[in-house]
């Protein structure tokens, strides 16, 4: 309860500062709208279902792209972490590609897929897959060899060794990579939707910019932030809590 109270005070203070800056008229209203104006835009956007349609389309794209990145990222991480030839070849390539901004993949996406959803999904997948791969690789290499030797002594072989010993032991690293990959996936999604004319939250941001409607821009940004917080609380926080309980780090 005390934690909630502190958050309410913080956000109330934040809104108060925002309203004060608006009333001081340091910037024109089309640059810094009032909190009331943004609130009305939010309400109107949900009432006419513009925001709901944008959320549905964007979430569909990120779900597909992020799902692909999880599958590919975990598989690549396993290969790099357990097979020396992949570590010496593919591992160095992955490390180099990680420094490449996701937006650099946009020309390739447009040439390969054209101006459509496939290009955006490709950007989302590329934005997240490298983080998940590197985290999985780190997790696999951090599994104590004693665990693997003990499992082999007890008869664990092949896929059973991976699914029952290696992956569970590396799961904290994998979850961290997935969490980081999720944030990169969102950034890639917005970049794709801003630059490729199509429906979605990024397109709503672009419309707001073109119409000099900063209320809509900030309203869409708030929607994106809320979605990110909800996904983090409903999925990643619960996963991390469950892992800590399994490892005996917290009480169930």
Is residue 127 pLDDT above 60, yes or no? yes
Q: What is the pLDDT of residue 218?
A: 92
> Mean pLDDT, to the nearest integer, of 142-165?
75
Q: Tell me whether residue 225 is in a domain.
A: yes
- Only one residue has tokens 């104590």, namely 144
The answer for residues whose C-beta is within 8 angstroms of residue 77's C-beta and 6 or more apart is: 132, 133, 134, 135, 136, 137, 139, 140, 174, 177
Domain boundaries, position 40: 36-246
Is residue 141 pLDDT above 60, yes or no? yes
pLDDT for 202-251, tens place per residue? 889 888 888 888 999 999 999 998 998 888 888 888 877 777 776 655 55
Q: What is the pLDDT of residue 43?
A: 93
Q: Tell me whether residue 107 is in a domain.
A: yes
Q: Tell me whether residue 7 is in a domain.
A: no
More confident residue, 124 or 196: 124
Q: Tell me whether residue 19 is in a domain.
A: no
Q: Residue 195 — very low, low, confident or very high, per pLDDT cuts 50/70/90?
A: confident
More confident residue, 171 or 252: 171
Q: 136: closest CA among 106, 96, 179, 200?
A: 179
Q: Tell me whether residue 139 is in a domain.
A: yes
> Mean pLDDT, to the nearest integer, of 97-126?
87
Quote the percentage of the chain above a pLDDT of 70.
Answer: 95
Q: What is the pLDDT of residue 42?
A: 92
Contact 178, 135 (CB under 8 A): yes
pLDDT for 82-91, tens place per residue? 888 888 888 8
More confident residue, 182 or 198: 182
> Mean pLDDT, to the nearest integer, of 173-177?
89
Q: Tell me whether residue 3 is in a domain.
A: no
pLDDT for 14-73, tens place per residue? 988 988 888 888 888 878 888 999 999 999 999 988 999 999 999 999 999 999 999 999
Query: Half-sphere exposure of residue 26, counting CA atoms within 13 Å on the CB side?
Result: 7
Contact 122, 112 (CB under 8 A): yes
How many domains does the chain fold into?
1
Q: Tell me whether residue 159 is in a domain.
A: yes
Q: Residue 164 — very low, low, confident or very high, per pLDDT cuts 50/70/90?
A: confident
Q: What is the pLDDT of residue 72?
A: 94
Q: What is the pLDDT of residue 2?
A: 64
d(CA 31, CA 38): 12
- Only one residue has tokens 């959803």, namely 117
> Mean pLDDT, to the nearest integer, of 178-182?
90
Q: What is the pLDDT of residue 234?
A: 85
Q: Tell me whether residue 23 is in a domain.
A: no
CATH of the domain at 214: 1.10.3720.10
């Amino acid at each position: 309860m005390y934690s909630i109270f502190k958050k309410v005070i913080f956000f109330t203070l934040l809104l108060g500062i925002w309203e004060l800056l608006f009333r001081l008229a340091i910037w024109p209203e089309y640059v810094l709208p009032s909190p009331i104006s943004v609130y009305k835009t939010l309400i109107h956007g949900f009432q006419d279902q513009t925001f709901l349609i944008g959320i549905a389309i964007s979430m569909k794209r990120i779900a597909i792209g992020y799902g692909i990145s999880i599958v590919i990222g975990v598989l690549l991480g396993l290969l790099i972490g357990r097979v020396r030839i992949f570590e010496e070849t593919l591992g160095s390539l992955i490390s180099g590609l990680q420094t490449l901004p996701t937006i650099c993949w946009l020309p390739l996406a447009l040439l390969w897929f054209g101006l459509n959803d496939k290009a955006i999904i490709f950007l989302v997948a590329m934005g997240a897959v490298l983080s998940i791969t590197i985290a999985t690789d780190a997790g696999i290499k951090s599994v104590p060899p004693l665990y693997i030797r003990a499992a082999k002594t007890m008869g664990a072989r092949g896929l059973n060794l991976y699914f029952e010993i290696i992956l569970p032991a590396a799961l904290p690293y994998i979850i961290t990579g997935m969490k980081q990959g999720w944030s990169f996936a969102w950034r890639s999604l917005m970049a794709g939707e801003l630059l490729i004319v199509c429906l979605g939250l990024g397109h709503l941001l672009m419309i707001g910019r073109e119409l000099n409607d900063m209320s809509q821009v900030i309203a869409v940004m708030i929607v994106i932030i809320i979605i990110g917080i909800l996904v983090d609380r409903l999925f990643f926080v619960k996963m991390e809590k469950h892992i800590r309980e399994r490892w005996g780090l917290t009480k169930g």
